A and B are shown apart, each in its own frame.
Chain A
Amino acid sequence: MDSPAPRLVEMADPAYPPSRSAPLVWALGGAVPWLILAVGQLLWIAVDPRNFWLHGLAAAVTVLGAVVSVGVVPVWRYRVHRWEISPQAVYTRSGWLVQERRIAPISRVQTVDTYRGPLDRLFGLANVTMTTASSAGAVRIVALDAAVADQVVAQLTDIAAIGSGDAT
């Protein structure tokens, strides 16, 4: 900007990891589609046991997919995911193959939503989404402990209430 501030060199990563049970929830969530696929394949074998090699190939693909999405992806995601909220901004890191770091000023946050899926409820987790006036600017903090999520929402709504203007 106008006055050359001390030149930023790098952004530190956000401080806080998601809930400890996040990898478990992600693993369970990731296992579901593969389980459905496996059941489908068993049915297929029962109905039509010919073409042994085709069944073998399909089973191999299913097992590989299940191992990756249950064993690898949750751990990877847990190592990447971080979040932190300062009085001015919210900053997250997320993803695994494609990793994103996203920062948005709290003065521009328009809504704060909490979402809890069935698995999240089972393990006491919650996801918080902060939307801004831009569809490319929504910040999601996923797989927080429910208590932490409530605290985050309270903190955010407190700060956001101070902001003025129409946040565009």
Chain B
Amino acid sequence: MLLVHPVHEVLRQLPLLVGAIVLGSATGNPMWAVAALAVTVGLGLARWFTTTYRIEPDEVQLRTGVLQRKMLSVPRNRIRSVQTDARLLHRLLGLTVLRVSTGQEAKGDGAFELDAVDVGEVPRLRALLLARSPAPAGVAAPAPGTLLARWQPSWLRYSPLSLSGLLMILAAIGVASQAGAGEALQRSNVGQAGLEAAERFGAAATVTVVAVAVLVASVLLAVLRSLVTYGNLVLKREPGTAGADGAEAGVLYLQRGLLRVREYTYDMRRLRGGTLRQPLLVRAFGGARLDAVMTGVNGAGESSLLLPSCPAATAEAVLAGLVDDPEVVSGPVIAHGSAAARRRWTRALVLPVLAGVVLAVVASTVGTPLGLWLLWAVVTAAAAALAADRVGSLGHRVSTGWLVTRSGSLERRRDCIATAGIIGWTVRQTLMQRRAGVATLVAATAAGTKRYEVIDVPAGQAWVIAAQASSWVADSIWAVR
């Protein structure tokens, strides 16, 4: 490990070293490069010598800093998850970065990060860190857990349905044009040949060819990205060591990535449910992705992701296993009634109808081309379909210990929240909602995205739902029976 740290430091400071080498060759004095290399290696060594960690009965401490000493201590009972992240280089050297996260979102300096821990050390460290009570000496490796899901190559079919590939292409074009690649291309032979070809084939054909090329490239990129980030994904549930309260909740273990391997270990006691997310296209092909709702894990983005887009049946089965109730995951939901439906329809159709009126007025005075009317018809039909789908997906369900809320069309989500984790209720009504006799019920939790909304329930139902889910609402002095 001692030899490895300077290597990391050298790689991390590679731009600086390249600069030093350039400077050295420019000034004709190679000592610049040697000095920079020596300083970097020295820094790496010093960093290794000055970084120590210790695991106390009630807290873990990390001391770092070459010139500026810093000590970070984390109470052990606040550790929510342990992650490892091994980039390619770390993997080649049999190392990994171990990250301990608490309820707070720690960034940069605040993060408890052990860079370059031996992979062999990780199971022992993880068991030690996640055990609530002081672990007995010589913790045995945890027993093999039950496999919840394993990545299948067939999951790749959902990856082109996201926009990530297209976004990557757009970003690349943006960077390239920033760097002046456009002008360079125009002057180059390839660019000239392309322009001539475009002139020969005509604008329409060129646009089609370019569009198809971008589409194919984005599909390839999206599939590749999905393969690299999620390939070899394994989701397991492992029995953990018994906590201070004697309950054995176990841990959730997630490993993913082909080149850069990331491992996440979540304390099951912190699991407050899960979210099934189905973007429209993924849903059309019967897919879904699964996010964990967990205290100490940000609800949005990559960090909460348990399964990427995969067959909905797989995602549902995994979530059902986690919440111990298949009805919560796939059972029917209660629709929100006609007022909510009317609001969805109004919202979707106000703009198309207004546009139609404008078009009609213009048509009666100046006359509009048929194409415009066709476009209007298509947009209106799409808006109507969207409204119908949004009405169809809106719903909620309260069963023993679980609140389920479903909404959305372009990005449909079904949130399953443990009612034990709900620490506040808000009933919110805008002026329009009061007139329509509906209300939005917001469940506040410490987990996931922190707020989970039940949109546009009939106003009289809002507190009934809250009371069904949380007995402390039903038992409060304000409850009228």
Contact = CB atoms under 8 A, between A and B. Distances in A.
B73 to A, nearest CB: 17
Interface centre among A1, A11, A101 (most CB of B within 10 A): A11
B446 A102 contact: no
B447 to A, nearest CB: 8
Nearest to A135: B450
B68 interface: no
B400 A7 contact: no
Contacts of A167: 423, 446
B442 interface: yes
Contact of A99 (B77, B428, B447, B468): B428
Contacts of B447: 168
16 contacts: A1-B419, A1-B468, A7-B464, A8-B473, A91-B478, A99-B428, A100-B427, A100-B429, A103-B425, A103-B473, A135-B444, A136-B424, A166-B78, A167-B446, A168-B103, A168-B446
B473 A99 contact: no
Given A8-B463, A9-B480, A137-B444, A88 B295 contact: no
A91 B425 CA distance: 10
A133 B476 contact: no
Given A8-B467, A103-B424, A168-B103, A136 B460 contact: no
Contact of B423 (A9, A99, A108): A108
Given A8-B464, A8-B479, A134-B444, A98 B428 contact: yes
A109 B204 CA distance: 64
A11 B475 contact: no
A104 B468 contact: no
A53 to B, nearest CB: 27
B431 A97 contact: yes
Interface centre among B424, B428, B464, B480 (most CB of A within 10 A): B424
A118 interface: no
Given A168-B421, A168-B446, A134 B451 contact: yes
B295 A133 contact: yes
A88 B430 contact: no
A135 B104 CA distance: 12
Interface in B370-422: 400-401, 419, 421
Interface in A60-93: 84, 86, 88-89, 91
B294 to A, nearest CB: 10
A103 B475 CA distance: 12
The 7 closest A-B pairs by CB, nearest first: A137-B444, A137-B424, A136-B451, A133-B446, A8-B467, A104-B424, A134-B444
B474 to A, nearest CB: 5
Contacts of A134: 423-424, 444-446, 450-451
A18 to B, nearest CB: 18
Contacts of A48: none
Contacts of B481: 6-9
B448 to A, nearest CB: 10
Given A89-B472, A168-B423, A8 B480 contact: yes
Contacts of B466: 103
B434 interface: yes
A99 B434 contact: yes
B426 interface: yes
Contacts of A2: 400
Interface in B119-160: none
A168 B428 CA distance: 23
Contacts of B475: 5, 88
A137 B270 CA distance: 18
Interface string A133-160: 1111101000000000000000000000
Interface in B197-226: none
Contacts of B444: 104, 132, 134-137
Nearest to A105: B472
Contact of B478 (A12, A99, A102, A168): A12
Given A7-B481, A8-B481, A168-B295, A133 B423 contact: yes
B206 to A, nearest CB: 49
A133 B445 CA distance: 7
A8 B476 CA distance: 10
B242 to A, nearest CB: 18
A107 B401 CA distance: 19
Contact of A101 (B421, B427, B451, B464): B427
Interface centre among A8, A99, A100, A139 (most CB of B within 10 A): A8
A29 interface: no
Given A1-B474, A101-B427, A104-B424, 17 more contacts: A5-B471, A7-B464, A9-B464, A10-B463, A13-B478, A14-B478, A88-B476, A98-B428, A104-B423, A134-B423, A135-B451, A136-B445, A136-B450, A137-B424, A137-B445, A166-B78, A168-B446
